Structure 1
Amino acid sequence: MSRWTRNIQGLLNLFLESRCPLCDRSTNTEFCLDCTRQLQRCQLTHPQQSEQQPLPIFVWGSYQGTLKRAISSLKYENQPQIAHPLGIWLAKSWLTSPLATSQVIVVPIPLHANRQKQRGYNQAALIAESFCSCTGLKLQKSGLMRQKATEAQFNLSPQQREQNLNGAFELGIDFCYHRPKMPVLLVDDIYTTGATARVAAQTLQKQGIAVCGMVAIATSQGHN
């Protein structure tokens, strides 16, 4: 490489650099190297959760530390770019699991229209986009619709979560007239008690649509 070419490349790298959304260090990727390492430490050793669950659940990491901070920034600090690496990491881990299959359609858990308008995007849909870009799976963003503006789940008990989600979902426009021939794989950012997964799956199953499981970035349930 000539000196002139190296100088041009150096200038391009300077202009292309951005700030890490978690620590504000300069970086030319979504996260700086240090934050990437901290996030990778949150990855679970055994990501599959299927015991005593109505659906197979696959989660990438533990909802704590830097991963908790990243998801909070994604959802509440207008940092949609965070969804891309998280979705890719989830996809790569899922592809190596016994649950991986090409015979599914990916559907993100939807936000209510008012909340999505306020936030500007649905974080689960962004995660699903990068997940599908890595796995090659088909994405149906509007397979489900949230018709009820539910209360935030994190302060609710398991019973209150079920009540809060009662009647929350209905079939989305993608599936209203054309039922999928393959089962659905749900995508969300956080898996806690499983209430969201159960209610979303039941909504689809009542319409004759099979659901094979859910994948999520993080779980608050203790395991490794």
Structure 2
Amino acid sequence: MIDFALPPRCPLCGVTVETDNRFCLSCWRQLDFLAKPWCVACGLPFPFDGPDNSLCGKCLAEPPMHDGVRAVVRYDDQSSLIAMRLKYGTRLGLARLIAEHLQKFVGECSDKAIIVPVPLHRSRLWRRGFNQSVLIGRELARCTGIRMDCNAIIRLKATPPLRGMSGKERRRTVDAAFALHSDARMTVAGKSVLLVDDVYTSGSTSNACARLLKRAGAEQVLVFCWARVISNFEND
């Protein structure tokens, strides 16, 4: 009766689908799902096959602090709706949808894995009422049985929008925004860390968090996210 009154609907277009957290065929076809071959460091898709350890030009010139980005889809007008509806539309059930898609990457992690969500500053947390990365991480923990630690990284300052900043300005801004919790080393040392966020944009935030996690003794840091921004420059 519940399914009859409130049938499962596609999270993008709203048409009725067979079960919760499923896209209709039309919306599924419009999503650009990311898959190998890609840059082993940042997850940038390659237009050609190559060795599994291939790096893009940017990562060759300046290797990131993390050990790879595992994004489900390319960030575009369609996929961004999922992130926006979770973050600003309080469609909290979308965190489970994202986590279910992220499960396929868990096999790349060691047996000693832990989930660490990217933290929000308290001012944004108060305004929004939740951290979307924590919601995704919690659902991923429920699906996989991997423990989550929400306190390994602390956000000290709210950062302004990074768009328009140079790479050096971005690093300076985000590096000062995060710190390690006093117990972080006990939590992450020797472990494979799944750093969870909703969207990977420039990599500045992920690098800042990964740098701290490596300092605390993390053996590996993989960035898990719903969507990855791919600029025209990167495509070239």
What is the TM-score normalised by the length of structure 2?
Answer: 0.75
Does 139-148 or 176-185 show the bigger shift? 176-185
Task: Report how far residue 200 of structure 1 moved.
Answer: 0.7
> Which residue pairs with 1:73 in the alignment?
85
Alignment of 1:103-118 (within 5 A): 103-118=112-127
Task: Report how far residue 34 of structure 1 moved.
Answer: 4.2
For the Cα contact (< 8 Å) 1:22–1:35, is it kept in 2?
A: no
Taking every aligned residue pair, what percent have the same amino acid on both sides?
25
1:177-199 C-alpha deviation (Å, 9 max, x unpaired): 84434422211111222211111
2:110 aligns to what SS in structure 1?
coil
1:44 aligns with 2:29: no
> Which residue pairs with 1:142 in the alignment?
151
> Which residue pairs with 1:194 in the alignment?
203
1:159-192 C-alpha deviation (Å, 9 max, x unpaired): 332122131111237x358443442221111122
Which structure is higher in strand share? 1
For the Cα contact (< 8 Å) 1:21–1:79, is it kept in 2?
A: no
2:179 aligns to what SS in structure 1?
strand
Q: Which has the larger radius of gyration?
A: 1
1:180 aligns with 2:191: no
> Which residue pairs with 1:204 in the alignment?
213
Distance 1:163 1:143 in 2: 21
1:129 aligns to what SS in structure 2?
helix
> Which residue pairs with 2:65 in the alignment?
54
User: In the alignment, residue 33 of structure 1 is paired with which amino acid?
Assistant: C
Indicate how the Cα distance of structure 1 residues 48 and 81 shifts in structure 2: closer, same or farther if over 3 A, else same.
farther
> Which residue pairs with 2:7 in the alignment?
17
User: In the alignment, residue 102 of structure 1 is paired with which amino acid?
Assistant: D
Consecutive unaligned residues in structure 2, runs of 5 or more = 42-54
Distance 2:161 2:67 in 1: 24
Does 150-159 or 53-62 show the bigger shift? 150-159
Distance 1:194 1:137 in 2: 24
Q: Aligned residues, how many?
A: 208
For the Cα contact (< 8 Å) 2:115–2:196, is it kept in 1?
A: yes
What is the TM-score normalised by the length of structure 1?
Answer: 0.79
Give the CA RMSD over aligned residues.
2.7
For the Cα contact (< 8 Å) 1:48–1:56, is it kept in 2?
A: no
Task: Report how far residue 149 of structure 1 moved.
Answer: 0.8
Distance 1:36 1:66 in 2: 8
Indicate how the Cα distance of structure 1 residues 112 and 151 shifts in structure 2: closer, same or farther if over 3 A, else same.
same
Distance 1:166 1:204 in 2: 13
